[in-house]
Amino acid sequence: MSLFITFEGIEGSGKSTQIALLAERLRARERTVLTTREPGGCTIADAVRTILLDARNTAMVPRAELLLYAAARAQHIEEVIRPALDSGTTVLCDRFADATLAYQGFGRGLDMKVIEELNGLATGGLAPDLTLLLDFPPEEGVQRALRRNDSRSGPNEDRFELESIAFHRRIREGYLELARREDRFRVVDARGSIDEVAGRIARAVDPVLAAGVRQ
């Protein structure tokens, strides 16, 4: 039985490490698992990702940014997420539509109603079964993400890390607000060791696996 789990949180909250660990744990239980991320996950959406995250693109206006995220998401769902779910795969996705509400809504101040409508268009109504919000202090998270990006080869993906700390605080508070609104969220304290956080995630995921919500 398929399951769609998304991970959200500010930069440097440890999502990619925890997604890899959860994938390993689920595979050990005989589940077929696909890990993917937004923006990205397929050739066209990866090309859009390069434009979105390029630190040289300082001229990008918030509305263009919003539409590019929506375009990448529509392609990713059609090409990757839906087919995987339809074939019974468990999909773990690093960020999804909630990120647009958090970043372009709470962060950039774009109209929430417009974002919700655009999310509806991009997702065709597909919603996660479970969303894990990795809650982490913005000051530490941004520093961690900048160090990680520095150590990587390839394009400079710092456009969001270079935003002010006030921007990242709005994102964190925005995510917590979204979590209060929707039952599918679990807020996970992302401070502490990798193993501690993985344990918290396991405790959040196991009841949903046992309940087998999708289909």
**Residues lying near ligand TMP in the complex (CB under 6 A):** 11, 37-39, 53, 69, 95, 99-100, 103-104, 160
**Pair of tokens at residue 44:** 């066209």
Name the packing angle between helices 194-211 and 15-28 (round to 10°). 50
Residue with tokens 């440890």: 14
Residue from 90, 72, 89 nearest 19 by CA: 90
Q: Closest approach of Cβ 121 to ligand TMP, in Å? A: 14
Q: Closest approach of Cβ 207 to ligand TMP, in Å? A: 26
Q: Nearer Cβ to ligand TMP, position 25 or 54? A: 54
Name the packing angle between helices 43-53 and 62-76 (round to 10°). 160
Q: Nearer Cβ to ligand TMP, position 31 or 54? A: 54
Q: Closest approach of Cβ 138 to ligand TMP, in Å? A: 12
Strands (E), the chain: 3-8, 33-37, 90-94, 130-135, 185-189
Q: Closest approach of Cβ 194 to ligand TMP, in Å? A: 18
Q: Nearer Cβ to ligand TMP, position 95 or 172? A: 95
AA identity, residue 200: R
**Residue 119 CB: number of other CB atoms within 10 A?**
22
Q: Nearer Cβ to ligand TMP, position 36 or 90? A: 36
Q: Nearer Cβ to ligand TMP, position 37 or 170? A: 37
Question: CA 135 to CA 55: how far, in whole Å?
Answer: 25
Question: CA 67 to CA 15: how far, in whole Å?
Answer: 24
**Any idea what the Cα angle at residue 201 is, between residues 199 and 203, rounded to 5°?**
70
Q: Closest approach of Cβ 103 to ligand TMP, in Å? A: 3
Q: Nearer Cβ to ligand TMP, position 90 or 100? A: 100
Q: Closest approach of Cβ 88 to ligand TMP, in Å? A: 25
